[in-house]
Amino acid sequence: MGNKKPVPPLDQVGLIIIGTGAALFYYYLEKTIQTGQNISVFITMGIILLISLCTQLLINSINRSKSALAEANENLEMKVKERTTELRESEMKYRTIFENTGAATVIVETDGTISLANSEFVAISGYEKKDIENKKSWLNFIDKKTHRRLLNDKVFSGREHGTNWEAKNFECEFFDNDNNKKDILCTLSPIPGTDKSVVYLADITELKKAERQIYHQAFHDTLTDLPNRALFMEILNMAIRRSRRRADYHFAVLYLDIDRFKLVNDSLGHNVGDKLLIAFANRIKDSLRDIDTLARFGGDEFVILLEDIESDDYASGVAKRLQQELKRPFMVGGKEVFALASFGVVSNTIDYAQAENIIRDADAAMYHAKENGKAQYKVFDKKLHKKAMHLLQRETDLRKAIHINQFENHYQPIVDLKTASLVGFEALIRWNHPQLGLIYPGSFISIAEETGLIIPITRLVVEAACNDLQKWQEQLGDQINLSMNVNISIKHFLLPSFLDDIQAILDKTGLDPNRLKLEITETALMEDADDTIRLVNRLKDYDLQLVIDDFGTGYSSLSYLQRLPIDTLKVDRSFVSRIRNEPDGNRNIVEAIISLAHRLDMIVVAEGVETQEQYAILLEMNCQLGQGKLFSMPMNKKAVDELIQNILHFYQQHPDQLYPLADMLSN
């Protein structure tokens, strides 16, 4: 009952009136009946009373409707208040997000006008907020190229026609009020249910700066800051394409290499070498035009692209001029250093389709210039191309030859000059080419040196020589002790794995290490003298012997020679061959070499002994060993097998006698 709604005051009064009227009507009706009066009056009163009752019922209904409406209004007001509160909270939430996105953010109209900008955008724009909102287009802040592209793409026209469009991400440049530039990543998105869009602008200036630095480092040399090989090849390829589009466009390429740069590193140190490279690069660059490109390919190798030249002779003129510039010394670390260079020139580039081929031919021309005496330039021509193709084919054939081992050793005997008896052999490689037949080392060793193939070739030569000597020594037993000389490339000699390679071969063949003698040329030995000294001292731990080949033709330092535990010197054949022809000159030189070797407790081998007169003179000089065609030409393995059998047969018949090699060869 407590929850029953109160009756409105108007309803209560109406009920009282109707109740009173009904009582009076009943009272008078009773009186009238009793007195016999006219009843029509009462009928009229009844009708009035009925109308009053209906009116009251209508009033009651209206009052109930008012009550329900009031209640509905009250509920509606409550819901409006709640929704308003929610909207305010939502607006505060989104405004907070809008302000704290971490990126400059604006709400824009269909024409690009900014209707709302957060504080981050205001900060980067350099304007006051009041000067931005509803006054400026966000397109006015970005670079003109991006502005035009967005307008051409009709980014906003879709919103004007009620169609949907997807969000766009793009990079652009942003300019503030002071025209300062930033790199910006923009995200432009439509706002659903409206004709507005939201634009997020993230500052990526530092990221783009880092990206540019990484790109620069990827395509530039870290020491000289010049373009590196990758970038130069791109530029050269563009030059090739340009020459095909324009008949009047010509270009040339120069490949240059600093002569004897290794000597600078070895004598003055790599720090001075690096400073010299920087100074060298700067001098060359200052001597070129702005349209030309200088690149460093690595080490002391540089390449120049001369663009838009008038004639082929222009490149040769540049090479001459640069060589004159390089005749002036460089001041590096307080020292005067000269850095002359050899140039290879490719001036007629019209027939080239690939950049790699131009570089290949320029490189070949440069090496040809070095072969002609350094500090020169050579223009690539068809002859050089033919030579390059020949070298390329020879390299390909060499690789195949290594794979299936087409090499064989020929052995030249080394004799004791006093007895003319055999003491050992020098292994001399031959290439048994399937089409060209037997090829001598002079035709392929230089290629093997340049390509690094000399290392696997040397392994094959040494293993075959050790294996053959071990078999011959097993046949001879203790009756005669032979040794084997093998020629070693300085590239292989200085490899960290060299001693391991030799030890593996000795273990495989079973040859006693002290029977193996490693021959290295004098010039090669002195190129890396300090490293050589350390390595040669280690050779003694392996019981290996070292022989200096072609002694007298290089530039040995006696101080280095004294520090090296060398076992044998080989006097070059050029001195031996002229002993007779120039008695006052070469005889003194050979005598000096032999005397020096004896004082240093070394054995001397004379190469190229061809006449009895030379033999007699060498004996007189007390030269211990010799080799040459006077004693024997190099022999193949089969011939040596027969020689060993002859020696063995001789010793079986004359165990106490020494034998002359010539007699053993004639049997």
- Indicate the residue among 45, 68, 95 that finishes a domain: 95
Q: What is the CATH number of the domain that holds 400?
A: 3.20.20.450
Residue that has been written with the tokens 């395509």 in this structure: 219
Instruction: Please check the confidence at residue 667 and state whether its pLDDT lies above 80.
Output: no
| 652 within some domain | yes
| 1 within some domain | no
The CA distance from 198 to 590, in Å, is 94
Q: Considering the entire predicted model, what is its pTM? A: 0.56
Tell me: do 236 and 362 sit in the same domain: yes
Q: What is the CATH number of the domain that holds 227?
A: 3.30.70.270
b/e for 207-218, b at 16 or more Cβ within 10 A? ebeeeeeeeeee
Tell me: do 494 and 607 sit in the same domain: yes
| Number of domains present in the structure of the chain | 4
Tell me: do 89 and 105 sit in the same domain: no
| 494 within some domain | yes
Tell me: do 16 and 155 sit in the same domain: no
pLDDT category at 11 given cuts 50, 70, 90 is: low
Instruction: Please check the confidence at residue 162 and state whether its pLDDT lies above 50.
Output: no
pLDDT category at 280 given cuts 50, 70, 90 is: very high
Give me the mean pLDDT over the 420-436 stretch.
Answer: 94
Backbone torsions φ then ψ of 236, nearest 5 degrees: -65, -40
| 452 within some domain | yes
Handedness of CA 388, 389, 391, 395 (dihedral sign): positive
pLDDT category at 91 given cuts 50, 70, 90 is: low
**Among 261, 244, 241, which residue's Cα sits nearest to residue 355?**
241
Task: Report whether 522 contacts 551 (CB < 8 A).
Answer: yes
| 175 within some domain | yes
Range of the domain at 106: 101-208
Tell me: do 406 and 298 sit in the same domain: no
Pairing state of beta strands 421-433 and 407-416?
antiparallel
- Indicate the residue among 49, 80, 95 that finishes a domain: 95
Tell me: do 89 and 107 sit in the same domain: no
Cβ partners under 8 Å of residue 375, min gap 6:
259, 323, 340, 341, 342
CA distance readout (Å), 402 to 178, 445, 459:
70, 13, 10
Burial level of 235, CB count in 10 A (0-12/13-18/19+)? Answer: middle
Tell me: do 114 and 53 sit in the same domain: no
Tell me: do 478 and 601 sit in the same domain: yes
Tell me: do 606 and 660 sit in the same domain: yes
| 215 within some domain | no
Name the most confidently modeled range: 43-47, 402-406, 584-588, 600-604.
402-406
| 2 within some domain | no
Tell me: do 116 and 87 sit in the same domain: no
| 387 within some domain | no
pLDDT category at 583 given cuts 50, 70, 90 is: low
Tell me: do 106 and 63 sit in the same domain: no
The CA distance from 61 to 38, in Å, is 36
- Indicate the residue among 380, 408, 431 that finishes a domain: 380
Tell me: do 176 and 303 sit in the same domain: no
